[in-house]
């Protein structure tokens, strides 16, 4: 059966993709970087089924070794410094992980075996100050953060290795996707975790930034299926993956608080500390191409997603006592 190599396997998407690939019968190899404390919370339940390889996006040789050792038919590059605000604090490091890291993996593939199929985790943040609504594969990029700019570079390198060396390299332009495994600094999880803490008497107020920002939010479990589908096609292309529906942060908060019978207006406060130097006000994706070519469409609605996240956080906080 096929081998798959996944970078970013300890992250939200990596954990869902690993589950998905294992269920399909793949032998899964996961790139992990050494930490003083093991960071396997999201993959605890499947870690005995994964072959871990120590490597880092900053370290070219370790990536070549990872590809040589795993002999994959498919490589999924999910690793990145993925939190937009941190990219203003550490712009150079973000460029090295999120941008140049892509080239390092592509080089490893080119050296070891050009027949390996490659998936790059591109992002709707590349559209930034969006030139049109909704955004498609043809919408020009206008990134608004060092993170977005680094993703644009990684995206174009993926296209270039496809066109220059004939590598089956696909770039998934994924819009925001969330789950109970989302990092707690991202707005959806920050809200659902706070709802659970407020409900269990551990927190009084929730401080947020721009409540009017609009995003096209989907469920991570649906989105990893799209990644895999892209690598099963005869021709590698770029695909927008989105729900085609948009909500504000305010609506997200309202639905999350309402799930436990609370009114968000009593608990949410705006704190300018969370405003960004340049905001991406509005993103909305059009996934017609993915629907047509991949037969992909999202299965979990926005409300179901937020309810799922609130329920999981509430259960966790109740069990913690």
In angstroms, what CA-CA distances link 141 with 17, 23, 146, 175, 249? 27, 36, 13, 14, 23
- What would the two tokens of residue 64 be? 């070549």
Identify residues 143-172 at the interface with ligand GDR (CB under 6 A).
none
Helices (H) and strands (E) in the chain, counts: 11, 13
Least Å from the CB of residue 192 to ligand NDP: 15
Identify residues 161-200 at the interface with ligand NDP (CB under 6 A).
174, 176-177, 183
Residue 12 binding partner per list ligand NDP, ligand GDR, none, with a CB distance cut-off of 5 to 8 Å that depends on partner kind: ligand NDP
Which of 16, 29, 76, 147 is labelled catalytic?
A: 147
In the list 31, 63, 108, 208, the residue contacting ligand GDR (rule: CB under 6 A) is 208
How many angstroms separate the CA atoms of 146 and 229, rounded?
29
In angstroms, what CA-CA distances link 278 with 81, 175, 217, 263? 18, 18, 20, 30
In the list 11, 209, 218, 298, the residue contacting ligand GDR (rule: CB under 6 A) is 209
Dihedral sign from CA coordinates of 138, 140, 145, 147: positive
| 120 belongs to the binding site for ligand GDR (CB under 6 A) | no
Range in contact with ligand NDP (rule: CB under 6 A) among 7-15, 111-119, 159-167, 261-269: 7-15
In the list 3, 4, 6, 7, the residue contacting ligand NDP (rule: CB under 6 A) is 7
Q: Is residue 264 annotated as part of the catalytic site, yes or no?
A: no
CA-based max dimension of the chain: 58
Preceding peptide of 214 cis, ω within 30°: no
H/E/C letters for each residue in 250-318?
HHHHHHHHHHCCCCHHHCEEECHHHCCCCCCCECCECCHHHHHHHCCCCCCCHHHHHHHHHHHHHHHHH
- The β-bridge relationship of strands 206-208 and 177-178 is unpaired
| 221 belongs to the binding site for ligand GDR (CB under 6 A) | no
Closer of 3 and 82 to ligand GDR (Cβ): 82
Q: Is residue 107 annotated as part of the catalytic site, yes or no?
A: no
Q: Is residue 239 annotated as part of the catalytic site, yes or no?
A: no
Range in contact with ligand NDP (rule: CB under 6 A) among 31-39, 156-164, 189-197, 207-215: 31-39
| 80 belongs to the binding site for ligand NDP (CB under 6 A) | yes
Strand order in the sheet with 169-174: 50-54, 27-32, 3-7, 74-77, 117-123, 169-174, 238-241
| 146 belongs to the binding site for ligand NDP (CB under 6 A) | no
| 58 belongs to the binding site for ligand NDP (CB under 6 A) | yes
Q: Kindly state the number of chain residues that form the binding site for ligand GDR, as judged by CB under 6 A.
A: 22
Range in contact with ligand GDR (rule: CB under 6 A) among 110-118, 204-212, 230-238, 296-304: 204-212
Closer of 78 and 208 to ligand NDP (Cβ): 78
| C-beta separation of 52 from 5 below 8 A | no
In the list 3, 10, 70, 158, the residue contacting ligand NDP (rule: CB under 6 A) is 10
How many angstroms separate the CA atoms of 233 and 230, rounded?
6
Residues forming the site for ligand NDP (CB under 6 A): 7-8, 10-14, 31, 33, 39, 56-58, 78-82, 97, 121, 123, 174, 176-177, 183
Active-site annotation, residues: 123, 125, 147
């Amino acid at each position: 059966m096929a081998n798959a190599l996944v970078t970013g396997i300890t992250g939200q998407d990596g954990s869902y993709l690993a589950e998905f690939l294992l269920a399909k019968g793949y032998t899964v190899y996961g790139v992990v970087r050494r930490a003083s404390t093991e960071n396997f919370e999201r993959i605890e339940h499947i870690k005995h089924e994964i072959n871990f390889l120590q490597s880092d996006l900053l370290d070219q040789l370790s990536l070549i070794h990872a590809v040589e050792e795993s002999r994959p038919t498919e490589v999924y590059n999910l690793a990145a410094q993925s939190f937009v605000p941190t990219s203003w604090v550490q712009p150079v490091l973000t460029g090295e992980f999120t941008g140049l890291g892509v080239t390092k993996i592509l080089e490893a593939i080119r050296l070891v075996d050009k027949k390996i199929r490659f998936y790059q985790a591109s992002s709707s943040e590349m559209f930034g100050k969006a030139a049109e609504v909704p955004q498609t594969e043809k919408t020009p990029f206008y990134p608004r953060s060092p993170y977005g700019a680094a993703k644009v570079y990684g995206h174009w390198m993926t296209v270039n290795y496809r066109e220059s060396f004939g590598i089956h390299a696909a770039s998934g332009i994924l819009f925001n996707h969330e789950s109970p495994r989302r990092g707690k600094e991202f707005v959806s999880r920050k809200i659902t975790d706070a709802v659970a803490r407020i409900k269990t008497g551990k927190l009084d107020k929730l401080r947020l930034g721009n409540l009017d920002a609009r995003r096209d939010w989907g469920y991570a479990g649906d989105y990893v299926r799209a990644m895999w589908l892209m690598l099963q096609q005869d021709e590698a292309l770029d695909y927008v993956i989105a729900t085609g529906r948009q909500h504000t942060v305010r609506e997200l908060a309202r639905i999350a608080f309402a799930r436990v019978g609370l009114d968000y207006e009593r608990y949410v406060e705006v704190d300018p500390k969370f405003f960004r130097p340049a905001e991406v006000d509005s993103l909305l994706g059009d996934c017609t191409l993915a629907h047509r070519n991949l037969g992909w469409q999202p299965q979990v609605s926005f409300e179901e997603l937020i309810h799922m996240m609130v329920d999981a956080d509430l259960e966790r906080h109740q069990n913690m006592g």
